[in-house]
Structure 1
């Protein structure tokens, strides 16, 4: 499968000074996904450097357009003329202010017009990417990506016609947003390009199928493996885009290694993902005042979900969780469940007073909320309302009797404060709490419960919320939402109320969930085949657990050994005192400085300089720290040392 090669350096007819930066992200209008998180958290820092010369382009999703962009008049005649030219070609766009911190500018392109050209464009991209097999007509992702690719290339073509003085730097995130790059190269538009692979199609699919391939990468027959995967055409397009870019980057060292063999091009640079720590710190400061509230909300949920079987002390209950895309093996849900089962056996054998409520937050296809789940909410609400009413009545009666009391009168008793009818009504509420069935392990009815991997594995290992279990399980197959009728909490609010995040992925190019745990002060378990886990090991060496980041070996160990290691980490955590866990949370949260975009954006800035220097070698001087390998680890390591000096370590 042959792919286009980067062209030679450009004629210095444009100036790199004051150049434009245009980033392409297909998740922009959808408000979900890891790449959306990258762009949204990074954008305020990039906007600070580029101001109105920074533009983020994505497809127009009408349901979210009003939430994403507040329409504005284009700030320059060149951009205004470009958008007018697109309108003349029948392409509707929305240019405006993205309603997030920093108000970066966005351009949303309506892809509706492209549907009529889809068949022709599919054939064109097959030729461009050198893919011998025709594209499947029912592949929605390919169809959407092809249309967006054509329209984004038309936008870039028009912009280069009207903006003739300044260099235009285009940064494409993941292949579905980057197909326009193939057209840009064919048309030889005067544009500097960067492509970032946030994962690889073939790598994800091989891991999903159970292939332990990290140590056999250099021996794989990539073409043969590609023919046997479900998304052969995705891999072909991804490979073509990686070879077409002037500068090719990935998000982690492990994905760089993967890309070198699977995409047949060694990345020029690694761009680790960051977080907007200042924003999250502000959130944390407010949330610290409501940390008890978050915990109480989770406790309220547990009361309703386990009503009739609530024979454990909620004050001695720890909340563990795994969250992310429903990829049973890749995200480590399989080994999470196995480790919980082993922990359950150990806690029961120890007659431990500790109870674990282990959440699985992985959206799946559902038909409805389970009746038992809704009944639990209703029963607990009814009881809470009645208890509150009784309290009000008791308070009123007690106050009245106290005001009338004289020396020598008997002291009021509960019989004076609670009427016989109130006592009967209270007993009725108590009886309503009784039930014979066990609390369900899943809050919703799934479309295909019989074959659901999580439910099947929970049943296989015996985690069914029995009374004797010290590990209780809640599979919540939906996105967390403050308006949800079952668990009305945002993801960060939910996270703040938990004690330990567990993300033992076997395929994870970066791993935002574990990184977010660090930022929120939540200890976590991750693995050494995740970009984040490797990054922490490189920064902290063997001392990651001292700062609340436990790293399980999933590269050199088999499944059983890794499950044993995870179980040991969880056991250690269960044996900690309240004070020890509070101290660990403090150290974890302070470590978040090393993930701040204030530092991570340096790598993006360096990649942009490298791309500009590659194509305009006479205009961009070499600066200290621009050489590969990257110097960011030294800068971040200094942050770690500063932190240790201030905190004194553990």
Structure 2
């Protein structure tokens, strides 16, 4: 690792005349550009989609998102509209130029204008675009990387669209282009070369180099000031992506990121300190359940109880009334998401609960997407047997009820053993006999493709968290999404979260962190870390966050052992709460989540756009 280099000078703004007064010009247009518009891939999709109502409230019909056209996803999320107005007419003009383009509405709350560009139609000119990137900006790109080729052609399609729009509109109104992440970044240096008459904002939600470094260096933050970004990008074979991201950061009038944690990363790895921080929010109304949320917790907890009975009760039973459900979820980044710390803390919690002699049981769910063959056969069989119990019990209940009613009507009290047929008694006995299993309950619900090398499974084995009956902490590793069509749960992810008691997300590398915020919005207390953007925001601006139901594990200046102890302490403290105290905490955390509604945090975006316009006209 090399010594840190001085930050290169910021890109000088193009000299402009003073910003015209609004009385002589129409209101500005805002174009927000991302690879994840109508194209769900990761967290930026959630940012854009949830932010729409706030942006439409401020910008109305002057707000438009731009993304790549994906036929299958467009069939679900996109509704075509007539080619009217300046944006519709620009789409029409692109079509006349031979560039596929679609104008319409994104079918999300707020129904914003959206343009989807068929960037593949520019693949024939890809070599020319790459040459210009190299000749004008020193950015070299590989020839055979399909994603980079798509990103560059999308950047070229965006450049052509914005230049065409500017020819129609820049003389009568201001234009603001806001690009997200390196995959929308190539348009910025190309537009600056064209001297595009508009203001540009670039947001990185996590530097691509930072992700690679954090996954491979357990002292990433200590080493951050000393990395040679050029050398490291070459080492991880991401030179082109890093160069595109760096060019977008330096070419924008306003450079932004989502948290102070990522801002430090940008300063050292991209050579420019962000001008504005844009914390991520949620459309809290989407999660609102008003006074019903406690009833919903009870309803969905019963559904989780059913899974628990199917999974554990063939081997042994425990008191569901004294069972708490904890969970974590997110991309399968074992170290970055703090899965290692979580498992270690659960092992320590298991020991403390046994020492304390508490009647509480914890069932912990780790939900992520990992390579699998299929659902484990025994897991499916247990679930099917539980349904057999329910079907048989329903038949017996109906038969007993009818016969008891008839006997009571005649004035007699019958022998209850005579109220059901031998067939159903035999069926029930057979089901109970087939139900019992001497093996321990599995710690994973699916057959993994590489069971022996899976880091979660290996750590669980090393910590001896194998679902023994005498252990109060049980573990369920669910390497797939939870949806209403999932045969093990039969409920959507949001409903699953509502049925749990505590979310645990002690990330090591997390530019922002939506999962604890979603947990809060669903009325579930959560734990995060000060190395996540969200946790850092809480620690600095809301010192009483613990009282609001949100714990923050100190990982930035603490070693692994002390962080694991602190996390175990937090979970143990929650286990000691009474039922009434847990209900009060759910009330508090659900109310506190309103602080993170986009109608509050969206103001930061408006400040960034205003600053970009001021610098453009400076």
Bin the TM-score by the shorter chain.
over 0.9
The 3 A distance-change label for structure 1 pair 380 and 183 is: same
1:194 corresponds to: 201
Name the structure 2 match of 1:135: 142
Task: Give the secondary-structure state (helix, strand or coil) at the position aligned to 1:554.
Answer: coil
Separation of aligned partners in 1, 2:609 and 2:365: 41
Distance 1:32 1:227, change over 3 A: closer
The answer on 1:38 being equivalent to 2:47 is yes
In the other structure, the counterpart of 1:359 is: 365
Mapping 1:300-339, distance limit 5 Å:
300-339=306-345
Pick closer, same or farther for the CA change 1:287–1:30 going to 2, 3 Å.
farther
82-91 vs 504-513, which moves further: 82-91
In the alignment, is residue 588 of structure 1 matched against residue 595 of structure 2?
no
- Report the equivalent of 1:645: none
What corresponds to 1:475 in structure 2? 477
Bigger shift: residues 118-127 or 524-533: 118-127
Q: Pairwise mapping of residues 179-258 of structure 1 onto structure 2 (< 5 A)? A: 179-258=186-265
Asked if 2 retains the 8 angstrom alpha-carbon contact of 1:3 and 1:240, the reply is: no
Q: Offset at 1:493?
A: 1.0
> Which whole-Å deviations, capped at 9, do the CAs of 1:505-547 have from their partners, x for residues lacking one?
0111111111122222211111111111111112222x32111
- Which residue is 1:421 aligned to? 423
Find the counterpart in structure 2 of residue 167 from structure 1.
174
Does 1:545 pair with 2:546? Answer: yes
Distance 2:567 2:135 in 1: 48
Correspondence for 1:9 among 6, 9, 15? 15
Provide structure 1 residue ranges, at least 5 long, that are not aligned to the other structure.
Answer: 618-650
Contact 2:143/2:149 (8 A) holds in 1: no
* Counterparts in 2 of 1:398 and 1:201: CA distance versus 1, 3 Å: same
SS in 2 for 1:28: coil
In structure 2, which of residues 377, 401, 408 is the aligned counterpart of residue 402 of structure 1?
Answer: 408
Corresponding residue for 1:557?
Answer: 558
CA distance in 2, matches of 1:230, 1:308: 50
TM-score, scaled to structure 1: 0.89
Say whether 1:106 aligns with 2:98.
no
Q: Is the Cα contact below 8 Å between 2:185 and 2:244 reproduced in 1?
A: no
Q: Does the CA contact (< 8 Å) of 2:262 and 2:533 recur in 1?
A: yes
Match of 1:81 in 2: 89
Q: How far apart, in 2, do the equivalents of 1:211 and 1:430 lie?
A: 50
CA distance in 2, matches of 1:485, 1:136: 44
- Cα separation, 2, equivalents of 1:423 and 1:519: 46
Give CA-to-partner distance per residue, 1:185-240, whole Å, 9 cap, x none: 12221121000111111222111012423244333333333332342332222111
Structure 1 residues 176 and 285 mapped into 2: Cα distance closer, same or farther (>3 Å)? farther
Distance 1:147 1:284 in 2: 46
Distance in 1 between residues matched to 2:9 and 2:81, nearest whole Å: 39
Q: Does 1:444 align with 2:446?
A: yes
User: Which SS does the other structure have where 2:592 is aligned?
Assistant: helix
Please identify runs of 4+ aligned residues in structure 1 that moved more than 6 A.
1-4, 13-16
Distance 2:133 2:463 in 1: 47
Change beyond 3 A, Cα 1:220–1:341: same
Q: TM (normalized to structure 2)?
A: 0.94
- Quick one: distance in 1 between partners of 2:330 and 2:295? 27
Structure 1 position 290, deviation (Å) = 2.6
**Partners of 1:613 and 1:37 in 2: CA distance:** 29
Does the C-alpha gap of structure 1 residues 166 and 474 become closer, same or farther in structure 2, counting only changes over 3 Å? same
Contact 2:372 2:449 in 1 (8 A): yes
Q: How far off is 1:324 after superposition?
A: 0.8
SS in structure 2 at match of 1:583: helix
The equivalent of 1:635 in structure 2 is: none
Distance 1:453 1:412, change over 3 A: same
Question: Take 1:248 and 1:502, find their aligned partners in 2: how far apart are those partners?
Answer: 32
- 2:153 corresponds to which residue? 147
Superposed displacement of residue 5, structure 1: 2.6
**Alpha carbons of 1:393 and 1:67: their partners in 2 closer, same or farther (altered >3 Å)?**
same
For the aligned residues, what is the CA RMSD?
2.1
Q: Work out the CA distance in 2 between the residues paired with 1:315 and 1:128.
A: 67
Task: Give the aligned partner of residue 293 of structure 1.
Answer: 299
1:91 correspondence with 2:99 = yes
Aligned residues: 608
